[in-house]
Amino acid sequence: TDAVDETVKMVRAAGGTATLVPLDMTDHDGIARLGAALNERHGKLDILIGNAGLAGTSSPLGHTDPKYWDAVMAVNTAANFQLTRCMEPLLQNSDAGRAVFITSGIAHKANAYMGPYAASKPALEALVRVWPNEIATTPMRANLFSPGPIRTRMRAIVMPGEDPLTLETPEQVAEFIVPMCAPSWTENGRLFDYPSKTLLS
């Protein structure tokens, strides 16, 4: 929450307004309450970014404790499912509701020792590809974004021997997510691959 606090301060310093709401993404009732609170306060939601992620442990499938599997799936897949359920009515109330969910290249590489994480991302991608088919006749759009190797704490945990200074920063990546949140963005159900800077089907 300290990092988010800093972001809130930056928004306010720039003349904007922001509210910090700490929330456990595995608390489905909490997500529902957040949706209700947003509806009561704003009546709509213009942009939803599904960015919460959990890497889990790096170990062979046969040595992976089921509790780690459950934890990764709860955050990476189930929480995003609940977000789609609870935030869709608010996004539909917007003139141009936009949703972007963060995926990973590992969804298509199936790296060894990353079983739970590698399984959770294709599930997320399927979810986000189904949703656009359901909202195709509305002004709303939902898409996926794959950032690739980025200088984050999660990346440092998964790849401890890697020099983080060789990686791009989250701020650099965010510049490519912002256009996907604009009313002018018309693509729906697509994957933007940041390493190649291309839209994939």
Each residue's pLDDT tens digit, 187-200: 999 999 998 889 98
End-to-end CA distance of the chain: 35
For residue 149, name the pLDDT band (cuts at 50, 70, 90).
confident
For residue 101, name the pLDDT band (cuts at 50, 70, 90).
very high
CA 65, CA 55: separation in Å to the nearest integer?
Answer: 14
- pLDDT value at position 162? 81
Catalytic residue among 68, 113, 117, 194: 117
Phi, psi of 117 (to 5 degrees): -65, -45
DSSP-derived letter for residue 135 is S
Answer whether residue 54 shows pLDDT above 80: yes
pLDDT digits (tens, 9 = 90+) for 12-21: 999 999 988 8
- Is residue 68 annotated as a catalytic residue, yes or no? no
Rounded to two decimals, what is the model's pTM?
0.90
Contacts of 112 (CB under 8 A, 6+ apart): 60
Answer whether residue 176 shows pLDDT above 90: yes
Answer whether residue 158 shows pLDDT above 80: no
Find tokens 């972001």 and name the residue. 7
